[in-house]
Structure 1
């Protein structure tokens, strides 16, 4: 394909690449968010490897020691190094967040694509299911599901996955509805291309940007939800070094060992803060229409 239409397509693709590649360097908040996320990833990957302590090994002779050179963040009620447990908890929390967000993204995107492109009774049935899920507060519904299934990290991941995909489905459906009537989709249909080809070639590329932004914002929420359910005793069980579990076990010693609660609490706060900054900055690069759609979710 050549001529003005091809040149226009090339310019549009180039402008889109420039938009995504320039947002991080140009936005100070994005730089802060990206820095926090990068540091967290480095600590989660390499921290447990270089730590000289085992996160589950108990040493009652060193219980509740204040922060020192030997234990930079002190020890807990069983003499375990708090910093080591935080590093292992970072790896666990990030792994859970990425897994849950991936499930939400795949399921929600698939449902949104089917609903938006098929239309008719299929669209109505799927959107009523989405509306039903969105009618309940997500953390409350996840609490109910996790409570029924029993306390474990796997059940928490399942509960958070079930309650979170609906937002992706609504966002993708609205994007598909705005794209499917455009000229290039109509031309593809007239040329006899299958629905699979139209979806893969024209619809999916146009929903990638808002879905990536929503997923970035969603990671922080999943980390917070996992920690909250673990704090209530429905997630990770001792001695698993998970941030919510560390908060729950440390609150008993809040007066005599402040670091037991403050250390995981600060980690959760900065992690969620970093992903939210990064997601907000990416969202601001989208069109006003896409930004408004995401504000409604």
Structure 2
């Protein structure tokens, strides 16, 4: 036990983690995100209700001890569906962000390190995709492919990787001119080894910050497309779908939209606060500049 704690101590005492721990907003965001993750993991398991089973005898029941968040128009427990929807929303956010990160980092590395006509071709593709509003392009892709969670993931991943590619490319263009990278290339090190050992660790910071900040946007886009009927299909529980079905009962059952709406707000706010904290921890100079009103000392 003691040896395990000793091995974990360098990680806990890492300067970045200590800076992050001193940021109250980042800690609050991390707590919110962790709470939603725990809700998604254990909520549906502990609940005595089935998130998709109908009970018309108990339809549109107001919040009570038996149903803390009430029931919907088909008698389903809203709290259980909210927890099950957290699995879908958070799972899609992580999956889409992972695909965007992998694709964008790969394209950015190749474009920045190889350069030449390869860089020109890849960046022109990126420029074409960036010429369209992301949510509109995702809406078109999801509409053409058909409404389903798989097509929703593909649509959101297809339009969001370009930002990663541009960030990574700009970082690689700067890193490849540094002395230690040139020295490694002059010694005859393979290109793959140079990228893995010298380039990737240097560009990891901006990518981690971008991925953390991207989580909130993906959650919001997932809920928006599902609200329009292009994501999860009833009776599958998903926050955007719950909002879409609950909007018909705004006057007589406000809890049908309050619960998923508040969940979306908390998830997006928590992810953004955590992302801002990670950015400040990895970029202390940027934090000083922001706190001083844009004036560097």
TM-score w.r.t. length of structure 1: 0.91
1:160 aligns with 2:163: no
Q: Which residue of 1 aligns with 2:294?
A: none
In 1, Cα distance between equivalents of 2:284 and 2:61: 53
Q: Post-superposition shift, 1:21?
A: 1.5
In 1, Cα distance between equivalents of 2:286 and 2:47: 44
Q: Which residue of 2 aligns with 1:240?
A: 236
Which segment is superposed worse, 22-31 or 159-168? 22-31
Q: Post-superposition shift, 1:19?
A: 3.2
**How many residues end up aligned between the 2 structures?**
278
Q: Which residue of 2 aligns with 1:126?
A: 122
Q: Which residue of 1 aligns with 2:3?
A: none
In 2, Cα distance between equivalents of 1:127 and 1:19: 36
Which 5+ residue runs of structure 2 have no aligned equivalent?
1-9, 290-297
Q: Post-superposition shift, 1:278?
A: 0.4
Alignment of 1:1-297 (within 5 A): 18-287=14-283
In 2, Cα distance between equivalents of 1:186 and 1:149: 46
Which deviations, in whole Å up to 9, do the C-alpha atoms of 1:47-87 show, x marking residues without a partner? Answer: 11101000011010100000000000000000000000000
Aligned-partner SS, 2:161: helix
In 2, Cα distance between equivalents of 1:128 and 1:139: 20
Which deviations, in whole Å up to 9, do the C-alpha atoms of 1:235-271 show, x marking residues without a partner? Answer: 1110000000000000000100000001000000000
Runs of 4+ in 1 over 6 A off after TM superposition: 288-292
In 2, Cα distance between equivalents of 1:187 and 1:164: 35
In 1, Cα distance between equivalents of 2:117 and 2:110: 11
TM-score w.r.t. length of structure 2: 0.91
In 1, Cα distance between equivalents of 2:284 and 2:118: 29
Which 5+ residue runs of structure 1 have no aligned equivalent?
1-13, 293-297
Aligned-partner SS, 1:285: helix
Q: CA RMSD in A?
A: 1.6
In 1, Cα distance between equivalents of 2:16 and 2:44: 33
In 2, Cα distance between equivalents of 1:179 and 1:211: 14
In 2, Cα distance between equivalents of 1:235 and 1:169: 26
Q: Post-superposition shift, 1:25?
A: 1.3
Q: Post-superposition shift, 1:290?
A: 7.8
Q: Post-superposition shift, 1:131?
A: 1.1
Contact kept, 8 Å, 1:210 with 1:290, in 2: the verdict is: no
